[in-house]
Amino acid sequence: MTIKHSLTRQSSLDISLEELRELSSRVNELVLEYFSQVADLPVFPETFGGDTLEQVGATLPADGEPVERLINDCRTIIKKSRHNGHPRFFGYVASPATPAGAFADLIASALNSNVTSWRSGPAATEIERTVVRWLGSLIGYDEDARGLLLSGGSMANMTALLIAQRAKTGREAARRGLWRSEAPMTIYASEQVHMSIPKAADVLGFGRDQVRLIGCDDQFRLNVQLLRECINADIHAGAKPFCIVASAGTTNTGAVDQLSEIADVAKEFSLWFHVDGAYGAPAALDESKRHLFVGLERADSVSLDPHKWLYAPLDCGCLLFRDEAQARVAFGEEDADYIKVLEQDADESFAFWNYGPELSRRFRALKIWLTLRYYGVRRIAAAITEDNVLAGYLAELVEQAEDFELLSQPQLSICCFRYVPPALRLQSGDTPPEDEAFAGELNRLNEQTMYAVQRGGRAYLSGATIHGKFALRACITNFRTTRADIEQTLEIIRDAARQFEFGA
């Protein structure tokens, strides 16, 4: 193997085959070292603001530096990172990346296809369209789903809202911005909806306040009766409802809204039905959870994030829809010379810019394609199922313990609970009725505990507020976690909490 090009050019950035071999083997070694050691590293490093730069420097180099030094600095960067791949990482919604996915990203970067269209990335476009269909079929949405990959759930939700709005107003009114001077266009979602929905409403110019946040039932699912009442009231007041967003796995507790009932409401009022399954949709692969997703197949669009619960490396979100023509109304109106497609064949003239906001796009599909082919669907489904089982196990342990209180029963893989000093429990095991001062103390104790656990480096949880109570929140989207990790995490929390107990 030889590198045939441009070594005679003065300014070439190509390197010799020998240098390439060295770079490749050193980088590979580092990646192998990382994958083999991630479970033994602190989940959160001992570090402080500015520490990394103190160690690796911040001077812009005028001349190249030796590979040895660069690899060592990369090792320092790894050491100073938070490790979502650690078996006791349960914060936010962040999963470990599969090795297959990580290596796929290397191939994608080396190839550097710009996946704007079939013309600029023929193979990558075919793989992405296939992966999109696979994702639609995996979650029981549609065997022949259309859609595209985006940077994450926030972009997928924003893209869906624009398609939804254009489906209502049509292209002409949108082009002339007419809807802005008319009645407010309203969106409906539960008060537990992810912040990306109000944010998208803001970015798209609808206004955050036009997202009506509907109350929930006792399982944190959108209250469908309140939804109907709110839409009726808005129509009465002259607003123009256009979209309902249901959550299939809320970020706080993993609640799955009642999708069929909400689909009925969307149909009744002729509204776009979007499902935010950025976190939860892959749980449809777990047989025991499938019933929760009945109605998903009736959605006009669905967001799901392979970088969350399909264990793909960041970044990778996906928006699925059934009707490509509606997405084209929102995005397919450009006619600049640089995007003129001369191909006549339907596959060859396909362009992603007609269906989403981005023009240049990286080859995100390869990491999903390689992960699914390397492991097979059965193995991925088993990992997701086990995550759900472990969240159930955590809830069981919490319920049995005299110093923890369960705040939300996991529907999927999120468990919210809090530490309650045993001295404060009543004989019945209940916590006493809370006056404001007591509630505040307990919230503070759990907040301090969460922070201490995070910075202690042995486990990592994030927080949520459940009915005004500060909760320790564990989201298990982690194929490395075992029952022993769950048990150990409760011990770690106890250790941390005891130092803050009232009067301690």
Chain contacts with ligand PLP (rule: CB under 6 A): 93, 152-154, 157, 194, 196, 247, 249, 251, 276, 278-279, 305, 317
* Distance of closest approach, residue 373 Cβ to ligand PLP, in angstroms: 23
* Distance of closest approach, residue 276 Cβ to ligand PLP, in angstroms: 5
* Distance of closest approach, residue 407 Cβ to ligand PLP, in angstroms: 18
Pick 303 or 489: Cβ nearer ligand PLP: 303
The residues with which 351 forms a beta bridge, in sequence order, are 117
* Distance of closest approach, residue 61 Cβ to ligand PLP, in angstroms: 33
- Buried b or exposed e, range 203-216, using 16+ CB within 10 angstroms: ebebeeebbbbbeb
Tell me how far apart the alpha carbons of residues 338 and 324 are, in angstroms, rounded to a whole number. 23
Q: What are the two backbone dihedrals, phi and then psi, of residue 277, each rounded to the nearest 5 degrees?
A: -110, 30
Pick 98 or 477: Cβ nearer ligand PLP: 477
Tell me how far apart the alpha carbons of residues 133 and 123 are, in angstroms, rounded to a whole number. 16
Pick 247 or 489: Cβ nearer ligand PLP: 247
* Distance of closest approach, residue 267 Cβ to ligand PLP, in angstroms: 23
Pick 154 or 210: Cβ nearer ligand PLP: 154
Cis peptide before 315 (omega within 30 of 0): yes
* Distance of closest approach, residue 88 Cβ to ligand PLP, in angstroms: 19
* Distance of closest approach, residue 339 Cβ to ligand PLP, in angstroms: 26
Pick 357 or 440: Cβ nearer ligand PLP: 357
CA distances from 99 to 81, 313, 476 (A): 18, 9, 19
* Distance of closest approach, residue 247 Cβ to ligand PLP, in angstroms: 6
Going across the sheet that includes 317-321, the strands are 146-150, 317-321, 301-304, 272-276, 240-247, 185-190, 211-214
Question: What six digits make up the tokens of 425?
Answer: 């429990």
Question: What six digits make up the tokens of 334?
Answer: 């450009």
Tell me how far apart the alpha carbons of residues 460 and 458 are, in angstroms, rounded to a whole number. 7
The residues with which 447 forms a beta bridge, in sequence order, are none
Residue type, 154: S
Cα angle 127-131-132, degrees, rounded to a multiple of 5: 120
Question: What six digits make up the tokens of 494?
Answer: 């106890």
* Distance of closest approach, residue 190 Cβ to ligand PLP, in angstroms: 11
Q: Which residue is nearest to ligand PLP (CB)?
A: 152
* Distance of closest approach, residue 494 Cβ to ligand PLP, in angstroms: 28
Pick 154 or 446: Cβ nearer ligand PLP: 154
Tell me the chain's radius of gyration from C-alpha atoms. Answer: 25
Determine how β-strand 317-321 pairs with β-strand 469-475.
Answer: unpaired
Determine how β-strand 146-150 pairs with β-strand 462-466.
Answer: unpaired
Query: Which residue from 477, 382, 371, 379 is spatially nearest to 100, judged by alpha carbons?
Result: 371
Residue 262 half-sphere exposure, CB side, CA atoms within 13 Å?
34
- 441 CB-contact burial (10 Å; exposed 0-12 / middle 13-18 / buried 19+): middle
Pick 157 or 159: Cβ nearer ligand PLP: 157
* Distance of closest approach, residue 279 Cβ to ligand PLP, in angstroms: 4
Question: What six digits make up the tokens of 260?
Answer: 């069929």
Structure letter (DSSP) for residue 353: G
